[in-house]
Amino acid sequence: MGADIAGNNELSATVQSRSVGLKMYNIIVKNTRGKGVQALALSAYADKQGFYGCTFVGYQDTVLANVGYQVYGKCYIEGATDFIFGQTARALFSQCVIRISGDGWVTANGRDSSLNPSYYLIDKSSIAAASGYTGVGRSYLGRPWRNYARVVVQRTVLSNVISGAGWSQWSSSSPNTDHVSFQEYGNTGDGASGARVSFSSKLSGAVNPKSILDGDTSWVDLGYVYQ
């Protein structure tokens, strides 16, 4: 179901997750609405949620990582347009398989001020084309939904599906790049090279994944993520 039928973006989600402390293992979640409308597979709308070995498939807005601390460990996430997005969550994507099914953007972080805690870290993952998609250099690691967007992609294999520019502005009329933090470290693969956009940067070292969670990992299944 798409937002056009559901009434809004969140209500289009195949799974709406609003329970604090939720853990989900090895579940396949799809939204088959397809191209042309926002259609979520997952709406993660609560604190300390962990998703382990799950599959999330959509096209536009697949995963809404919106509030609180969230961990996605060894998940498969597929989409094309802004398919990992949200407003205030601090979300770790560790050892995930991220697949792009059409020209677009992996992330669309909606951090709207310096006081907003939102932070996405993609770590030790792989980003490549989904089966059937043959675009080369026509997709981006992210674009800023809001002007303080903050995303790090590190120690990740990037295929040639990723443009040499790496990152994109939101649009020509609303770039949203004045205060963004788009950073990379230690990425490899054909998509890791190229003249990156001026509003992105390279880190001198890897971000500690625990820092995304402000040091509290008591609720995280570390054995699953790092076994």
CA distance 70 to 83: 16
Residue 106 contacts residue 127 (beta carbons within 8 Å): yes
Q: Residue 61 in 3-state DSSP? A: coil
Closest CA to 2 of 28, 57, 40: 40
Per-residue burial over 202-217, b if 16 or more Cβ lie within 10 Å, else e, is: eeeeebebeebbeeee
82 assigned to active site: yes
Q: What is the separation, in whole angstroms, between the first and last Cα of the chain?
A: 36
Reading the block at residue 27, the tokens are 């579940």
From 82, 103, 178, 221, active-site residue? 82
CA distance 180 to 3: 28
Residue 48 contacts residue 69 (beta carbons within 8 Å): yes
Q: Which residues are catalytic?
A: 82
